[in-house]
Amino acid sequence: MDPLSDILALLKPLSYVSAGFEAGGDWSVQFPSYEGIKCNAVISGQCWLAMEGVSDPVRLETGDCFLLTKGRPFRLASDLSVPPVDATLVFQPAKRGGIARCNGGGEFFLAGSRFTLIGHHADILLGLLPPIVHIRNEGDQASLRWLLERMRQELRDTQPGSSLVAEHLAHLMLVQALRLYLGEAVEGRVGWLFALADKQMGKAINHIHADPARRWTLQELARNVGMSRTTFALRFKETVGLTPMDYLTRWRMLLASERLARSSESIPAIASALGYESESAFGAAFKRVMGLSPRHFSRHRREEAADHSLP
């Protein structure tokens, strides 16, 4: 898999609910705080988006896609001067996965999903994203148009399997939104997500993800992307925010933590599979990155799983 797919597989985004929202006339709806990440798209009409802690409201037009990543309360409105209605009251009459309506609908339609991140490292993705990710790239809207129209059809005309189709469409919308966002040419953005848009840095990250157990050296990675060792090291740190070797170690530890939490593999077996010759070297690296020893981490995750299984 590619690095973005690797990270999303690690975080296991689960589409908690996909729904539509239709409005007409003058309207304003206040949404409460939430967990996870919301991915929405305006299929028809326009509205304003105002979020707690964000100074300027965002104007959303037909075809715009937006991610909400920090769990803050927000408001959608045709006019921000209109007194808001509680979203719970608007969405309560709608069936799960159906369409909520305000003022009878007919002028504005929005579709989207809320994702919970099952993985234990949501900050890997959410920590890089601003509270509102607004995607308004007209040249790339064609890639979303089919998804948006299919989502509207599945929500409006419920058929056998509609819930599953809507869930898959929501996942595609999330991935496409992240693709478009990382592809925007914005100076000064630092992190693995944005580095993927850089041809040479993205290639280096691909090499690391493709073979994390390999004993990579700075020289080898630099040679594989056609750069000098010094230039590569500086560029990687500037773009990713970590040195190449620190990124390699961090990715190994994230993979290790997933295995410790989800499998019955022994610590020595995991250490060997990720390129460590000794359990002690692996343990030291794991504690440095994750803050706990592998054994304590594994015990903590098992206790968490046991707690969640209680009625």
The reported pLDDT for the residue numbered 308 is: 43
Which two tokens mark 51? 């979020």
| Residues 218-239, mean pLDDT to the nearest whole number | 97
Average pLDDT, the chain: 87
pLDDT of residue 174: 87
Residues 239-253 have pLDDT tens digits of 999 999 999 999 999
The yes-or-no verdict on residue 76 having pLDDT over 90 is: yes
Residue 16 three-state SS: strand
Portion of the chain with pLDDT greater than 70, in percent: 90
Number of residues in the chain: 311
Helices (H) and strands (E) in the chain, counts: 13, 11
pLDDT digit string (tens) for 19-29? 889 999 999 99
**Ranges 38-42, 182-186, 245-249: which has the least confidence:** 182-186
User: Would you call 232 helix, strand, or coil by DSSP?
Assistant: helix
Quote the pLDDT of residue 303.
61
pLDDT at 103: 92
Question: What is the tens place of the pLDDT at every residue in 79-106?
Answer: 999 999 999 899 887 666 678 999 988 9
Helix pair 199-210, 3-11: axis angle to 10 deg: 50
Q: Look at residue 186 in the predicted model and tell me its pLDDT.
A: 63
Q: Which residues contact 299 (CB under 8 A, 6 or more apart)?
A: none
The answer, yes or no, to whether residue 37 has pLDDT greater than 70, is: yes
What is 30-56 written as a DSSP string?
A: EE---SSEEEEEEEES-EEEEETT-SS
Least confident of 25-34, 106-115, 201-210: 106-115
Report the percentage of the chain scoring pLDDT > 90: 55
Burial of 168 (0-12, 13-18, 19+ CB in 10 A): middle
Q: How confident is the model at residue 226 (pLDDT cuts 50, 70, 90)?
A: very high
Q: What is the mean pLDDT of residues 147-160?
A: 78
pLDDT of residue 309: 41
Determine if the pTM surpasses 0.85: no
- Residue 181 region, left (φ>0) first, then alpha (ψ -120 to 50), else beta? alpha
Domains of the chain in start order, with CATH, are 3-183 (2.60.120.280), 193-307 (1.10.10.60)
| CA–CA dist 38, 177 (Å, integer) | 11
Q: Bridge-partner residues for 114, per DSSP?
A: 17, 38
Q: What is the mean pLDDT of residues 277-303?
A: 89
